[in-house]
């Protein structure tokens, strides 16, 4: 992540809504990319991959894990019912195919019968049932179990009101699994490659308890198995010869390095110690373009970078004009072209471009910045402020070079356009979270949100008044009603239209300042093949190969 | 302690020191540079046409040039580095001095009381120092940053408040050896109160150590501040410090070397000069106590 | 002698106890908790977590529990590294920091004492000024500037050495971090040695020795070196304890898996047990090293022998 400590959970799910319906055919990702022959290059003898992975995963227990670094590794160690193609499309995983009931509430999965654990045991529907129940069981202490709340009874089990056995997941036979939902959840197949849905090997979990996820103990069903875990140094995975698709796997060994300092990561990439970096330092972007341009891979990423107003307190409480004025006065083009400059998309709305969703862009998105500034000045005056009586406001952001630069820029724009006196307040991450959540002293705060699944709902639900993450304190009955009705809507087009209306309402009330939609940025050596950028930035080592170099 | 066996006033001590120090060319040069630097840092920003927080979107990361108006170039937000470097100097020097003075006041008071009182009181007071010594400095500093994150001055008052341990130990040692001297005993026999004895006789005799301590502690504190900037816990924008500037510059040492070179030069020269002056003073004032103060 | 050792060790126990209590309270006073993250946890999940880690108990009970575990040598589970106990983290991090820090201190001692002695012997000569100026540069440039510079030159540019990590543990990986760690220490030790040596050389017993016609080399090795090292040794105690527990700057820049980052990460992540673990570990080391310093002092300077 660009934001240092801030790791907006990039946990991931790609649910390409359109793909959901007909998922029968198997696809071999490699055939699309073409090893060797097509490019005329030979595979390297040493198929070892070195990947920068930002931070040490908190755990490799898929049900208790959270955050991008852990998810990246877990995708290699485990396989869910569904998986993702290199371009992010949802493809069959352990489930070879599935059917959806007419009301969209019951999914029936047929598991492939050649799926094996890394010790050779067969992977059965029972293993999945055990895994799902373990995630929602309060005793497991999963940080992310709430993502399974669309499943029948999940919410009540998580709250400790019902036993885990009542969860709406059932093994009909060894290779048939049924999942019952509380409402139609069109993004479910995408959700099913999230680590909370991975199966775990019951016997080893029961033997080693909550600390089974260590070398020599962890038994997974993914393309790789855990060979070494040297905290703060590296995690080493080697291929799992029991994996059902092992013959199509090329990379033999993969090392994940926890490197938080992007400058260090860049240097290690330049010294050929890394094949893929987790990120790049923004400040050196121009240098990288000039010197490592062909290694730079930038692509759209499912995330929204924004600033929020605390609408529960003055001056922003009940003052939509002022909120609009300040938002209009932010020149997104300058921020995305001069400050971040990696290809971020200027944001005028809240939901990033997702599949099957018509974005609700406000009218002023099409204006020039001069027009926006003129409107901003008018609104600012109408809100009762002037050069003699300027607004004094504080921007709260957490410690990070990028947030600092963006906040400084916004302060400077407000001062220039409106004469607003801005104070910048940088707080250490945990203090920042605490301050922001309390909503007592905060006025304007920095925030970012990365979608959990490729669906507008992952963003829309955040601004619901009941959401813990709604840091602005935005509480609009109209907005809440729209979100609630979308959750139970079966028709995907109608559902998308409802969500778009909600977004339009949000942009009318303007409790946030959308700034830009994220991009993912990596350096990838030319000899790494089989890797394609995708909007969730999810990658599977089994699809990669290393060319002779 | 090389101080005369009679109570000395600050003035004569300063005169002695000055005489010896003047002979040390390196120290004198360093002192002159420090004075000039301080004046420049305080005065020069007023004469520059740029302000510390004005962003210039058309001049982002431009190299230094005399004709372009940005003598030290600009940073990644198009802000003038000359003004920022000098402003950063104000902050760095200020925090160095404030923290050092705070630690000095606490350290001298604590050490003098402990040494003069002796016995049980001394034992307990020194045990407290031992405990604080065993707490990792970094742990305390980070906690203080978390507690007082809103104000850099408070932070450095706090850093001063945990940095006094060395001073307390030195002063205690000196006070212990002083208190049985004839002139102190005479004063005590004459009915002078302990507080007055400490103030009038013990503390002035410690001036030598104190001055050395100041010149060697200020650069240390400035380095601590730069370390905090490395962790991202430094001053609030748009304010800056040499440490913060050097840290920003270090991340761009290849593509915008001027962002590192100018602030690093100022920082290094300042630390250098303080250390030279400190060493010179030590030679001048206190040849036998070398080492204890570092 | 034995009585002295026992007394010192016994007197360290209350110091440690107060230290632990102090650190325990301080870290819990910090705003935010171990379970705060960008993704706010639903209240019932957070309540479960707090109960599982006994954070819902009154503070004195938590402290009692902590002390009871500590007495058994158990530092508790880490909040952040959920698959590891703090004891395991220290056990894996400390050898790395010890190796790097120990080598750095050794290097610094060798170079620092030599350079300082040479400078003292040639006081106010060109060599003296050269050595002292170099030493001051070593103190005056922050190591977060020196370290990336070293990587840029020797790893990225010349490709002589690796840019980071410990790799297979070969000595090549240690070179740059050890140099970066040693640099400021060389500077401090050289200055201390020089100052102390000048004073010793001025003392009557050295003058007597010289008057008796002993060679300078003989005087240096037999008579001058031991007293010269006194202030160096008292500096080395706490400095070594600090260096062998790791440096967050060096570890971050070189990607080395040492202990140093846990002081910062533990505090920033409110990983109560982890930060307590390293603080207690560090405090114990400081006490042990100060004790060692006293012993060495006694050996170097018979007057203070206990």
Residue with tokens 């929204």: A304
Same domain? For A65 and A196 the reply is yes
Residue B234 is predicted with a pLDDT of 80
| CATH code for the domain of A325 | 3.10.105.10
In a domain, C121, yes or no: yes
Tell me phi and psi for residue A513, to 5 degrees: -115, 100
Burial class (CB in 10 A: 0-12, 13-18, 19+), B235: buried
Section B15-30 average pLDDT: 78
Whether A12 shows a pLDDT value over 60: the answer reads no
Count of domains observed in chain A: 2
For the residues of B45-92, what is the DSSP string, one character each?
GGGSS--TT---TTSTTPPP-STTS-TT-B-TT--BHHHHHHHHHHHH
At B124, list the tokens.
């307990």
Contact of C166 with chain A, judged by CB distance below 8 Å, is answered with yes
What per-residue confidence (pLDDT) applies to B166? Answer: 83
Q: In what order do the strands lie in the sheet with A253-257?
A: A48-52, A253-257, A234-239, A224-230
Q: CA B256, B261, B262: angle at the middle one, nearest 5?
A: 110
Q: What is the pLDDT of residues A98-143, one digit of tens each?
A: 999 998 899 999 999 999 999 999 999 999 999 999 999 999 999 8
Query: What's the confidence (pLDDT) of residue A509?
Result: 94
| Residue A20 domain-assigned (yes or no) | no
DSSP A42: P
| Cβ pair A286:B54 closer than 8 A | no
Confidence band (pLDDT; 50, 70, 90) for B150?
low
Q: What is the CATH classification number for the domain harbouring A156?
A: 3.90.76.10
A31 pLDDT band, cuts 50/70/90, is very low
Contact state of A142 with C257 under an 8 Å Cβ cutoff: no
Please state, in angstroms and rounded to a whole number, the distance separating the CA atoms of residues A72 and A194. 11
* C residues 91..150 contacting A (CB < 8 A): 92-93, 148
Together in a domain, A139 and A76 = yes
CB-based contact, B199 to chain C, within 8 Å: no
Within C141-171, where are the H helices? 143-150
pLDDT at C299: 79
For residue B6, report the phi and psi dihedrals to the nearest 5 degrees: -110, 155
DSSP secondary structure, A56-121, as one string: --S-S-TTT--SHHHHHHHHHH---SEEE-TTS-EEESSEEEEEE-TTS-EEEEEEPTT-B-TTSP
Task: Quickly list DSSP for A323-338.
Answer: HHHHHHTS-HHHIIII
> Which residues of chain C fall short of a pLDDT of 70?
1, 302-306
For the segment A457-471, the average pLDDT, to the nearest whole number, is 91
Name chain B contacts of A283, Cβ cutoff 8 Å: 76, 248, 251-252, 255
DSSP A353-402: --TT------GGGGS-HHHHHHHHHHHHHHTT--SSS--EEEEEEES-HH
Give the mean model confidence (pLDDT) for residues A385-411. 92
What is the per-residue pLDDT for B169? 85
Mapping DSSP to helix (H, G, I), strand (E, B) and coil, where does residue A511 land?
coil
Q: And the tokens for A251?
A: 């990379």
- Residue A68 pLDDT exceeds 80: yes
Q: Does C168 touch chain A (CB under 8 A)?
A: no
> Residue A271 has what pLDDT?
93
Q: Provide the CATH number for the domain around residue C139.
A: 1.10.3720.10
The pLDDT tens digits for B194-222 are 788 777 776 677 777 777 788 888 998 89
Q: Are A83 and A289 in contact (CB under 8 A)?
A: no
Q: Is A126 helix (H, G, I), strand (E, B) or coil?
A: helix
* Residue A479 and residue A336 share a domain: yes
Confirm whether A46 is domain-assigned. no
Residue B172 binned pLDDT confidence (cut-offs 50, 70, 90): confident
**Could you give the CA distance from residue A399 to residue A393 in angstroms, rounded to a whole number?**
19
Share of chain B above pLDDT 70, in %: 89
Give the CB-side neighbour count of residue A485, counting CA atoms within 13 A. Answer: 15
Which 8-state DSSP code applies to residue C152?
A: I
Show residues of chain C in contact with B130, CB under 8 Å: 15
Pairing of strands A234-239, A224-230: antiparallel
**Whose structure tokens read 């000045």?**
A377
Pair (A217, A316) in one structural domain: no
Enter the tokens of residue C302: 């018979």
Quick one: closest CA in A to C77, which residue? A211
A119 shares its domain with A227: yes
Query: Domain total for chain C?
Result: 1
Q: Could you give the CA distance from residue A45 to residue A545 in angstroms, rounded to a whole number?
A: 11
Q: Is B276 exposed, middle or buried (0-12, 13-18, 19+ CB in 10 A)?
A: buried
Q: Which domain holds residue C173?
A: 91-268
Please check whether residue A13 lies inside any domain of the structure: no
- pLDDT number for residue B12: 59
Q: Same domain, yes or no, for A322 and A244?
A: no
CB of A8 closer than 8 Å to CB of C38:
yes
The closest of C190, C202, C188, C186 to C117, measured between CA atoms, is C190
Q: Which residues of A298-325 are buried (b: 16+ CB within 10 A; e: fewer)?
A: bebbbbbbbbbbbbeeebbeebbbbbbb
- By CA distance, what is A437's nearest residue in C? C40
Place of tokens 């939509």: A320
Beta-carbon separation of B231 and C248 below 8 A: yes
Dist. CA B102–CA B96, nearest whole Å: 10
Is the pLDDT reported for residue A243 higher than 60?
A: yes
Taking CB atoms and an 8 Å limit, are A5 and C268 in contact across chains?
Answer: yes
Q: Distance (Å, rounded) from C-alpha A76 to C-alpha A193?
A: 12
Is A410 inside a domain boundary? yes
Inter-chain residue contact B60 with A430, CB threshold 8 Å: no
Structure confidence at residue A63 (pLDDT): 95
Judged against a pLDDT cut of 50, whether residue A30 lies above it is answered with: no
CA distance B176 to chain A (A): 44
Strands A169-173 and A176-180: antiparallel
Under the banding of pLDDT at 50, 70 and 90, the label for residue A14 is very low
Separation between Cα atoms, residue C77 and residue C69, nearest integer Å: 11
Q: Is the pLDDT of residue B38 over 90?
A: yes
Residues A228 and A345 in one domain: no
Task: Examine the domain organization and report whether A110 and A170 are in the same domain.
Answer: yes
Please tell me the predicted confidence (pLDDT) of residue A17. Answer: 31
Per-residue model confidence (pLDDT) at position B180: 73
Q: Read off φ and ψ for residue A200, nearest 5 degrees.
A: -125, 155
Same domain, A477 and A353: yes
Q: Tell me whether residue A49 is in a domain.
A: no
Element (H, E) at A519: strand A512-523
Question: Is A35's pLDDT higher than 50?
Answer: no
Q: How many CB atoms lie within 10 A of CB B285?
A: 23
**A12 located within any domain:** no
In this complex, the residue of C27, C132, C137 whose CB is nearest that of residue B143 is: C27
In a domain, A447, yes or no: yes
Please give the pLDDT value at position C302: 64
Share of residues in chain B with pLDDT > 90 (%): 20
What lies within 8 Å, CB to CB, of C207 at 6+ separation is none
| Integer Cα distance of C135 and C188 in angstroms | 7
Tell me the pLDDT tens digit for each residue of A185-200. 889 999 999 999 999 9
- Whether residue A432 sits in one domain with residue A360: yes
Which of B131, B136, B282 shows the shortest C-beta gap to C15? B131
Q: Is residue A456 part of a domain?
A: yes
pLDDT higher than threshold 50 for residue A511: yes
Amino acid C5: pLDDT: 79
The pLDDT of residue A21: 33
CA distances for A20 relative to A107, A537, B175, C154, angstroms: 11, 20, 82, 53
How far apart CA A50 and CA A526 sit, in angstroms, is 13
Structural tokens at position B66: 């005399």
> Residues A406, A353: one domain?
yes
| Optimal mutation site among A269, A270, A281, A286, interface B, most CBs of chain B within 10 A | A286
Instruction: Based on the fold, state whether residues A180 and A327 are members of the same structural domain.
Output: no
- Segment A249-293, tens digit of pLDDT: 999 999 999 998 888 999 999 999 999 999 999 888 989 999 999
Instruction: Give the range of the structural domain holding residue A360, as residue numbers without chain letter.
Output: 302-520
Q: What is the pLDDT of residues B85-123, one digit of tens each?
A: 999 999 999 989 999 999 999 998 898 889 888 889 998
Smallest CA-to-CA distance from B179 within B120, B104, B117 is with: B117
Give pLDDT, residue A82. 96
Contacts of C258 in chain A (CB under 8 A): 232
Residue B94 DSSP code = H
> How many A-B residue pairs are in contact by the CB < 8 A criterion?
65
């Amino acid at each position: 992540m660009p934001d240092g400590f801030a790791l907006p959970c990039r946990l991931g799910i790609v649910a390409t809504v359109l793909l959901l319906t007909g998922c029968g055919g198997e696809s071999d990702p490699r055939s699309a990319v073409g090893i060797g022959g097509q490019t005329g290059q030979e595979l390297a003898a040493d198929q070892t991959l070195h990947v920068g992975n930002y931070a040490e995963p908190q755990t490799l227990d898929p049900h208790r894990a959270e955050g991008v670094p852990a998810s990246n590794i877990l995708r290699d160690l485990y396989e869910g019912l569904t998986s993702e193609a290199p371009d992010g499309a949802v493809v069959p995983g352990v489930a070879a195919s599935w059917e959806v009931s007419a009301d969209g509430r019951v999914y029936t999965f047929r598991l492939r019968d050649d799926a094996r654990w890394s010790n050779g045991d067969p992977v059965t529907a029972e293993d999945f049932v055990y895994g799902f129940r373990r995630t929602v069981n309060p005793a497991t202490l999963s940080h992310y179990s709430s993502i399974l709340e669309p499943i029948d009874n999940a919410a009540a089990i998580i709250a400790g009101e019902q036993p885990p056995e009542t969860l709406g997941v059932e093994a009909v036979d060894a290779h048939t699994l049924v999942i019952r939902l509380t409402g139609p959840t069109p993004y479910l197949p995408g959700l099913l490659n999230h680590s909370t849905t991975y199966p775990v090997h019951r016997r080893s979990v029961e033997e080693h308890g909550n600390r089974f996820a260590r070398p020599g103990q962890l038994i997974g069903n993914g393309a790789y198995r855990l060979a070494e875990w040297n905290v703060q140094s590296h995690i080493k995975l080697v291929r799992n010869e029991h994996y059902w698709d092992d013959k199509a796997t090329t990379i033999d060994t993969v090392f994940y390095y926890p490197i938080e300092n992007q400058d260090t990561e860049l240097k290690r990439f330049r010294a050929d110690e890394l094949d893929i970096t987790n990120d790049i330092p923004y400040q050196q972007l121009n240098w990288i373009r000039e010197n490592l341009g062909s290694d730079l891979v930038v692509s759209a990423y499912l995330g929204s970078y924004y600033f929020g107003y605390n609408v529960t307190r003055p001056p922003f409480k009940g003052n939509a004009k002022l909120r609009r004025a300040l938002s209009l006065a932010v020149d997104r083009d300058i921020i995305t072209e001069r400050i971040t400059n990696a290809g971020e998309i200027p944001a005028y709305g809240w939901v990033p471009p997702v599949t099957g969703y018509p974005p609700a862009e406000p009218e002023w998105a099409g204006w020039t910045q001069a027009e926006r500034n003129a409107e901003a000045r008018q609104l600012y005056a109408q809100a009762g402020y002037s050069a003699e009586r300027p607004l004094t406001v504080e921007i709260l952001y957490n410690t990070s070079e990028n947030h600092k630069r963006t906040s400084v820029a916004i302060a400077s724009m407000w001062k220039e356009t409106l004469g607003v006196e801005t104070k910048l307040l940088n707080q250490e991450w945990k203090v920042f979270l605490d301050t922001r959540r309390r909503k007592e002293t905060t006025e304007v705060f920095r925030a970012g949100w990365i979608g959990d699944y490729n669906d507008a709902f992952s963003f829309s639900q955040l601004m619901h008044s009941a959401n813990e993450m709604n840091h602005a304190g935005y509480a609009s009955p109209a907005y809440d009603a729209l979100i609630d009705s979308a959750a139970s809507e079966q028709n995907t087009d109608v559902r998308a239209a409802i969500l778009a209306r909600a977004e339009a309402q949000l942009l009318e009330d303007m409790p946030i300042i959308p700034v830009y939609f994220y991009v993912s940025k990596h350096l990838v050596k030319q000899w790494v093949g089989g890797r394609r950028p995708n909007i969730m930035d999810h990658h599977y080592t089994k699809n990669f190969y290393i060319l002779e170099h | 302690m090389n101080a005369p066996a009679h109570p000395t006033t600050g003035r004569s001590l300063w005169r002695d020191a000055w005489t010896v120090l003047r002979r040390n060319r390196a120290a004198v040069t360093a002192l002159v540079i420090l004075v000039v630097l301080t004046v420049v840092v305080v005065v020069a920003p007023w004469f520059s046409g740029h302000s510390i927080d004005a962003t210039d979107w058309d001049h982002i990361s431009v190299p230094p040039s005399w004709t372009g108006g940005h003598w030290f170039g600009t940073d990644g937000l198009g802000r003038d580095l000359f003004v920022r470097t000098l402003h950063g100097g104000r902050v760095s020097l200020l925090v160095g001095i404030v923290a050092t003075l705070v630690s000095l006041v606490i350290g001298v008071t604590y050490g003098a009381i402990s040494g003069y009182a002796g016995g049980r009181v001394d034992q307990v007071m020194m045990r407290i120092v031992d405990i604080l010594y065993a707490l990792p400095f970094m742990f305390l500093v980070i906690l203080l940053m978390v507690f007082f994150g809103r104000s850099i001055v408070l932070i450095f008052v706090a850093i001063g408040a945990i940095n006094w341990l060395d001073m307390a130990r030195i002063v205690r040692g000196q006070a212990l050896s002083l208190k049985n001297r004839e002139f102190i005993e005479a004063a005590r026999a004459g009915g002078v109160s302990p507080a007055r004895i400490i103030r009038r006789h013990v503390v002035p005799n410690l001036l030598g150590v104190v001055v050395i301590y100041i010149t060697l502690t200020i650069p240390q504190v400035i380095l601590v501040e730069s370390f905090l900037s490395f962790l991202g816990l430094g001053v609030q924008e748009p304010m800056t410090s040499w440490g913060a500037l050097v840290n920003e510059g270090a991340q761009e040492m290849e593509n915008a070397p001027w962002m590192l070179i100018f602030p690093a030069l100022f920082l290094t020269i300042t630390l250098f000069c303080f250390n030279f002056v400190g060493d010179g003073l030590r030679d001048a004032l206190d040849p036998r106590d070398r080492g204890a103060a570092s | 002698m034995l009585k002295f050792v026992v007394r010192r060790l016994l007197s360290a126990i209350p110091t440690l106890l107060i230290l632990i209590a102090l650190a325990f309270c301080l870290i819990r006073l910090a705003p935010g908790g171990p379970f705060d993250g960008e993704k706010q946890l639903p209240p019932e999940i957070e309540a479960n977590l707090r109960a599982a880690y006994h954070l819902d108990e009154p503070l004195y009970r938590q402290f009692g529990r902590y002390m009871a575990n500590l007495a058994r040598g158990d530092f508790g589970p880490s909040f952040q590294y959920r698959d590891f106990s703090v004891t395991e983290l220290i056990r894996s991090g400390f050898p790395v920091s010890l190796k790097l820090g120990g080598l750095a201190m050794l290097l610094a001692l060798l170079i620092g004492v030599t350079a300082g002695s040479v400078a003292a012997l040639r006081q106010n000569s060109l060599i003296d000024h050269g050595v002292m100026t170099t030493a001051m540069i070593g103190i005056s440039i922050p190591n977060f500037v020196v370290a990336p510079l070293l990587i840029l030159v020797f790893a990225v540019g010349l490709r002589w050495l690796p840019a980071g990590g410990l790799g297979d543990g070969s000595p090549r990986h240690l070179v740059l971090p050890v140099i970066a760690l040693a640099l400021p220490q060389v500077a401090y030790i050289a200055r201390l040695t020089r100052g102390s040596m000048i004073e010793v050389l001025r003392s009557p017993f050295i003058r007597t020795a010289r008057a008796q016609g002993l060679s300078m080399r003989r005087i240096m090795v037999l008579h001058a070196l031991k007293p010269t090292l006194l202030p160096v040794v008292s500096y080395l105690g706490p400095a070594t304890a600090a260096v062998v527990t790791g440096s967050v700057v060096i570890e971050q820049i070189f990607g080395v898996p040492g202990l140093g980052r846990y002081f910062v990460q533990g505090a920033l992540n409110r990983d109560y047990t982890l930060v307590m673990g390293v603080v207690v570990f560090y405090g114990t080391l400081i006490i042990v090293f100060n004790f060692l310093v006293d012993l060495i002092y006694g050996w170097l300077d018979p007057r203070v022998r206990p």
